Amino acid sequence: MILKFKEFYPKLDKNAWAAPSADLIGNIEIGEDSSVWFGCVLRADINKIRVGKKSNIQDLSMIHTDVHTQTIIGDNVTIGHKVMLHGCTIEDNCLIGMSATILDDAVISEGSIVGANSLVTSGKKFPPRSLIMGSPAKVVKELTKEDVDKLIIHAQHYVEYKNQYC
């Protein structure tokens, strides 16, 4: 369901796609070739949610904001199944593993991976190309350029999957 909240109506690029069971509410922008999959909730009723190009938000993920903090998702980002994002920034070319939680004011820098079930606490900022894991999450190693290239390819696969539904 795409739902207006106050004066804000979600804006999807003409080449973006949201599953019929996804709920997009309020001040949301979804970029070109991005996708929001089944059962997701993106609720931008108190601040803005922005999703860049060629990013995917997989089934049952929940994205919200904070009064003082938008939720920003860059380009070529994969948000795995059942992820919770709240008032955080995910820069370009990242992968957020299944059931991870990322809280207010946290920043996942470009080319990073957050492992499945990890908890990124409020205000944490990680350097580019980090493998981030645990609860609370910490950097466990630096990723290579080849690792980051694979993240971009993975995001591109979801553009292709999305195109099968359009």
Map tokens 């499945």 to a residue. Answer: 116
What is the structure's pLDDT at 29? 99
86-142 pLDDT tens trace? 999 999 999 999 999 999 999 999 999 999 999 999 999 999 999 999 999 999 999
Q: What was the pLDDT predicted at 127?
A: 98
Q: Where are the domains of the chain?
A: 2-165
| Per-residue CA distances from 76 to 2, 95, 111, 133, 135 (Å) | 23, 9, 10, 20, 25
> Tell me, what's the pLDDT at 166?
87
Cβ burial of 134 (10 Å; 0-12, 13-18, 19+) is middle
**With bands split at pLDDT 50, 70 and 90, how would you rate the model's confidence at 2?**
very high
Could you say which architecture CATH assigns to the domain 2-165?
A: 3 Solenoid (2.160)
pLDDT at 108: 99
Q: What was the pLDDT predicted at 153?
A: 97
CA atoms within 13 A on the CB side of 10: 25
Average pLDDT, the chain: 98
Coil, helix or strand for 11? strand
